[in-house]
Amino acid sequence: MAWTREQRYRNYSNYSTTLIDNLEKQAATSQYKPKFHISPKSGLLNDPNGFSFFNGQWHVFYQAFPFGPVHGLKSWVHCVSNDLVHWQNLGIALPAGGRYDSHGAYSGSAQVIDDQLFLMYTGNVRTQDWQRESFQNGAWMDKDNHITKLMEPLIKQPAYVTDHFRDPQLLKINNEYYALIGAQDKETLKGEISLFQSNDLKNWHDQGYVKHNLHDLGFMVECPNLVDVDGKKVLIFCPQGLPQDELKTTNIYPNVYAIADYFDFEQNYFEAENGEMVQLDEGFDVYASQAFNAPDGNAYLISWIGLPEIAYPTDKENWAHCLSMVKQLKIVDGQLYQQPVAAMSKLRDYEQELPQKQRVLVEKAGQQYELRLTLGADQIGNLLLASDGTTEHALQLKFNTIDGKLTVDRSNVGEKFGIEFGEQHQIRLDPNTPVMLDIFVDHSVCEIFVNDGQKVLTLRYFADNSHTTIAFSDENITDYTGQYFKLNDM
Ligand code: FRU
C-alpha cells in the first residue's frame, strides 16, 4: 500500500488502538521475527538512540513509527536491560508532536547528568509548504523513566547548513559539554560534522565544522559518534553519497569509522590514522550505529539492522527491521574489533560439538542458535546456513583460508530484496591462517563475527523457517572444530 504524507504524519491519537493490536498480533506471528534482537512490536524501527547506563540499568531507545513499515512520524521507544542481552520494551517514551519536534523526534543520544539522564535529540519540523527545520532539543529523564522535554531548543539550525542537520551526540568532557551533529553544508552540499560547546547545557557555542584529514564525507553525514576505545578516539558515522571507489561496498549507504590518537576539541580537529575511513560492518544491513563509553570502562555499540530507502520482505507483514546485538569495542593491533558481549552466553540452552568428517553439521538447527567454527589454514569450501537440505537453497559462506577470502552470499536464500545493492560481499583475511567464525542466527538475522570480532558481517535474510540445516556443500572439509548452541529467547 502507498502511504500518503497525511497518513505518515498524522497525530498518533488519530489511529485506533484496535489497529495497533492487530499490527502487534501480525508482527508477533511472523516467522521472521527475531527472538533475541530488539525488534518493533509493530511498524518500523530504525536508529538506536540514547544508548546509556543510568540508574543501575542499560537503556536504549529506538526510532519508531508504530503504524506501518514506513518512515513517518518518529518517536523514541524505550528499552531497558540488566545485562545488555535481555531487553524489556517499555513503549513510547519520547513522542513527537511539540512545537520543535512536530514532525518527528529524530535521533540523538544521552548522558547521565547528576541524578538524571539528559537526552539530546533532533526535532524534525515541517512548515506548511513542507520545508524542513531542524532543531536540536533536550529532555530530562528521571529515575522513574519519566521524560520531560525542554520548552526551547538547545540549538537552532545555523544559516550555513541545509536542513540536513541532525543526530546530536552529546559528550561530557571534564566540566564541558560538546555536541557532534551530522550536517550538510549549504554552499558545497557536502557532508560535514558540526561541533557545538556548552558549559551549562543551555547556552551552546558553534565551533564550526570538525576539521579532519578524511578525503570525502559524501553529500551528508548522519549519526556521528565519538567514542574512546583502548586509548584511541574512534569516530563512527554514516556518510551518504560517497563515491563507490571510496569504500569497497555496494551498500546504498555505508556506516564507517576512523581511528585517531586524540580529538583536539580546542582546534576542533580530528586526524584519522592514514586519513582513512573503514567500513564498520562488511555485511549488507548495518546503519546508524550508536556507541558510548559505559561506566564499566567498556565501549559498547549497537546498530540498526536495516537501511534507508530499501524495501524489506516484512513490509508486507506491516513491520520492519531490528537492532543488532550489543557489541563491545576493542582496538587490537590498531584495528577496531567488535565482539558480542560476554553475557550473550546466558542465552545458551543446549550445546553440541560439531561432528567430524560430516557434510551435514546440524540437521535441525532451528532458527535461534550460535555456531562457533574454526577452519584450518588450508580449507576451501562453502558453509550453508538455513539450508533446506539441498546445496542450492541456503545462505552461503564461501571460505578459502589459503587465499584468506570469505564471501557471504545471500542470493539463494529465500525472498529477494535489495538486490541492486549486491548479493555477495567478500572480505580479505590473512592467507594460510585458520579462521574463527562466531555466527548468531535469529530467524531472519545473521551476525557473523570473524576472528574474534576483527570483521563483522551483519545481514537479514528471509528464508522459510523449515530451512534449518547447517552443512558444508561437499565432503572435503576435514580440518575444522566447533560447537553449536541452541539459544533461548531474550
Ligand atoms: C538515520 C536517520 C537519522 C534521523 C533518523 C530519522 O537513519 O535518517 O539521520 O535522525 O534516521 O528517523
pLDDT at 250: 82
In the predicted model, is pLDDT for residue 326 greater than 90?
Answer: yes
From the CA of 74, give the closest atom in ligand 1.
12
Residue 8: partners with Cβ closer than 8 Å, 6 or more residues away: 65, 70, 71, 72, 73
CA of 379 to the centre of ligand 1 (A): 42
Ligand 1 pocket, residues with Cβ under 6 angstroms: 46-47, 63, 74, 106-107, 122, 166-167, 222-223, 287-288, 308
Report the percentage of the chain scoring pLDDT > 70: 100
Looking at the structure, do residues 147 and 72 belong to the same domain, yes or no?
yes
From the CA of 308, give the closest atom in ligand 1.
7
Choose one of 46, 65, 120, 137 to mutate for the ligand 1 pocket test, by most ligand atoms within 8 angstroms of C-beta.
46
Mean pLDDT of 80-109: 98
Looking at the structure, do residues 360 and 328 belong to the same domain, yes or no?
no
Cα–Cα nearest to 37, from 251, 328, 340? 340
Boundary (domain end) residue, out of 340, 355, 379: 340
Q: Which residues pair with 329 in a beta bridge?
A: 299, 338
Boundary (domain end) residue, out of 306, 340, 374: 340
In the predicted model, is pLDDT for residue 2 greater than 90?
Answer: no
Phi, psi of 394 (to 5 degrees): -170, 160
pLDDT confidence band for 246 (50 / 70 / 90): confident
Looking at the structure, do residues 448 and 366 belong to the same domain, yes or no?
yes
Q: Which residues pair with 364 in a beta bridge?
A: none
CA of 107 to the centre of ligand 1 (A): 6
pLDDT at 169: 98
* Domain interval for residue 307: 5-340
Mean pLDDT of 362-375: 97
3-state secondary structure the chain: CCCCHHHHHCCHHHCCHHHHHHHHHHHHCCCCCCCCCCCCCCEEEEEEEEEEEECCEEEEEEEEECCCCCCCCCEEEEEEECCCCCEEEEEEEECCCCCCCCCCEEEEEEEEECCEEEEEEEEEEECCCCCEEEEEEEEEECCCCCEEECCCCCEECCCCEEEEEEEEEEEEECCEEEEEEEEEECCCCCEEEEEEEECCCCCEEEEEECEECCCCCCCEEEEEEEEEECCEEEEEEEEECCCHHHCCCCCCCCCEEEEECCEECCCCEECCHHHCCEECCCCCCEEEEEEEECCCCCEEEEEEECCCCCCCHHHHHCEECEECCCEEEEEECCEEEEEECHHHHHHEEEEEECCCCCCEEECCCCCEEEEEEEECCCCEEEEEEEECCCCCCCEEEEEECCCCEEEEECCCCECCCCHHHCCEEEEECCCCCCEEEEEEEECCEEEEEECCCCEEEEEECECCCCCCEEEECCCCCCCEEEEEEEECCC
CA of 321 to the centre of ligand 1 (A): 14
From the CA of 182, give the closest atom in ligand 1.
9
CA of 362 to the centre of ligand 1 (A): 40
CA distance 304 to 446: 13
CA of 106 to the centre of ligand 1 (A): 6
In the predicted model, is pLDDT for residue 401 greater than 90?
Answer: yes
CATH number of residue 204's parent domain: 2.115.10.20
Mean pLDDT of 251-263: 94
Choose one of 9, 49, 62, 63 to mutate for the ligand 1 pocket test, by most ligand atoms within 8 angstroms of C-beta.
63
Mean pLDDT of 7-24: 95
Looking at the structure, do residues 137 and 244 belong to the same domain, yes or no?
yes
Looking at the structure, do residues 35 and 158 belong to the same domain, yes or no?
yes
In the predicted model, is pLDDT for residue 244 greater than 90?
Answer: no
CA of 171 to the centre of ligand 1 (A): 19
CA of 87 to the centre of ligand 1 (A): 22
Q: Whose CA is nearest to atom 12 of ligand 1?
A: 106
Mean pLDDT of 139-156: 98
pLDDT at 102: 98
Cα–Cα nearest to 78, from 32, 26, 41? 41
388 is catalytic: no
pLDDT confidence band for 32 (50 / 70 / 90): very high
Question: Distances from the Cα of 154 to the Cαs of 123, 157, 187, 206, 488, in angstroms?
Answer: 10, 10, 24, 12, 43
Catalytic residue of the set 47, 167, 281, 442: 47
Mean pLDDT of 384-411: 96
Looking at the structure, do residues 248 and 276 belong to the same domain, yes or no?
yes
**Interval 327-336: pLDDT, tens:** 999 999 999 9
pLDDT at 476: 87
Looking at the structure, do residues 329 and 373 belong to the same domain, yes or no?
no
pLDDT at 259: 98
pLDDT at 245: 76
What is the residue-averaged pLDDT of the chain? 96
pLDDT at 188: 98
Question: Distances from the Cα of 457 to the Cαs of 285, 310, 408, 460, in angstroms?
Answer: 9, 18, 8, 10
Cα–Cα nearest to 336, from 251, 451, 431? 451
Choose one of 76, 107, 221 to mutate for the ligand 1 pocket test, by most ligand atoms within 8 angstroms of C-beta.
107
Mean pLDDT of 47-53: 98
- Say what the ipTM of the complex is: 0.99
Beta strands 269-270 and 211-212 are: parallel
pLDDT at 134: 98
Q: Whose CA is nearest to atom 6 of ligand 1?
A: 106
CATH number of residue 359's parent domain: 2.60.120.560
Looking at the structure, do residues 46 and 22 belong to the same domain, yes or no?
yes
CB-neighbour burial class of residue 376 (10 A; exposed 0-12, middle 13-18, buried 19+): middle
pLDDT confidence band for 394 (50 / 70 / 90): very high
Looking at the structure, do residues 112 and 201 belong to the same domain, yes or no?
yes
pLDDT at 338: 98
CA distance 451 to 434: 9
From the CA of 47, give the closest atom in ligand 1.
7
**Interval 209-239: pLDDT, tens:** 999 999 999 999 999 999 999 999 999 999 9
In the predicted model, is pLDDT for residue 248 greater than 80?
Answer: no
Looking at the structure, do residues 370 and 328 belong to the same domain, yes or no?
no
The reported pTM is 0.97
Mean pLDDT of 446-464: 98
Cα–Cα nearest to 235, from 253, 218, 212? 212
How many structural domains comprise the chain? Answer: 2
pLDDT confidence band for 475 (50 / 70 / 90): confident
Choose one of 124, 161, 223 to mutate for the ligand 1 pocket test, by most ligand atoms within 8 angstroms of C-beta.
223
Q: Whose CA is nearest to atom 9 of ligand 1?
A: 222
Looking at the structure, do residues 175 and 200 belong to the same domain, yes or no?
yes
CA of 299 to the centre of ligand 1 (A): 22
CA of 288 to the centre of ligand 1 (A): 8
Mean pLDDT of 340-366: 96
Mean pLDDT of 19-37: 97
Boundary (domain end) residue, out of 280, 305, 340: 340
Looking at the structure, do residues 46 and 129 belong to the same domain, yes or no?
yes
